């Protein structure tokens, strides 16, 4: 799940690539509108098609040389790939990656004073 590198908070979405198109209807039916979270929340899951990238290799090519794959990014913050329920290695970058840039925010954390 993508995260905000400054706060460590989840951005609230994830990419799920199913292994075969015939699994799409059941996945969609199961997860679209899902709300039975372990933690109290009024949020509901919304399933949509990803764009512009579709399919495993399209997402691999999108992220394998991305700054999110830089060695300075903790492993738990990088894209993950699973096969048969087990995490496997994400394909390695095909070129050197640069560290992510943190964008400046005008947000002032609670308890902090603006200068």
pLDDT at residue 105, rounded to an integer: 53
Burial of 81 (0-12, 13-18, 19+ CB in 10 A): middle
Q: Is the model's pLDDT at 103 over the cut of 70?
A: no
pLDDT-derived band at 108 (thresholds 50, 70, 90) equals: very low
pLDDT beyond 50 at 41: yes
Domain boundaries, the chain: 1-100
d(CA 5, CA 8): 5
Q: Which residue has the higher pLDDT, 17 or 111?
A: 17
Confidence check: pLDDT of 104 > 70: no
- The pLDDT-based confidence of 10 (bands split at 50, 70, 90) is confident
DSSP E strand stretches across 1-115: 81-83, 86-88
Mean pLDDT, residues 64-90 taken together: 91
For the whole prediction, is pTM greater than 0.75?
A: no
């Amino acid at each position: 799940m993508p995260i905000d590198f400054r706060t460590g908070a989840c951005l609230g979405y994830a990419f799920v690539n199913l292994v075969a198109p015939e699994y799409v209807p059941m996945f969609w039916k199961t997860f679209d509108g899902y709300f039975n979270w372990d933690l109290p929340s009024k949020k509901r899951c919304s399933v949509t098609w990803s764009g512009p990238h579709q399919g495993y290799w399209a997402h691999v090519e999108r992220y394998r040389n991305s700054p999110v794959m830089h060695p300075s990014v903790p492993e738990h913050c990088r894209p993950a790939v699973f096969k048969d329920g087990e995490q496997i290695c994400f394909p390695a970058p095909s070129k050197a990656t640069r560290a992510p840039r943190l964008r400046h925010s005008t947000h002032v954390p609670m308890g902090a004073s603006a200068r």
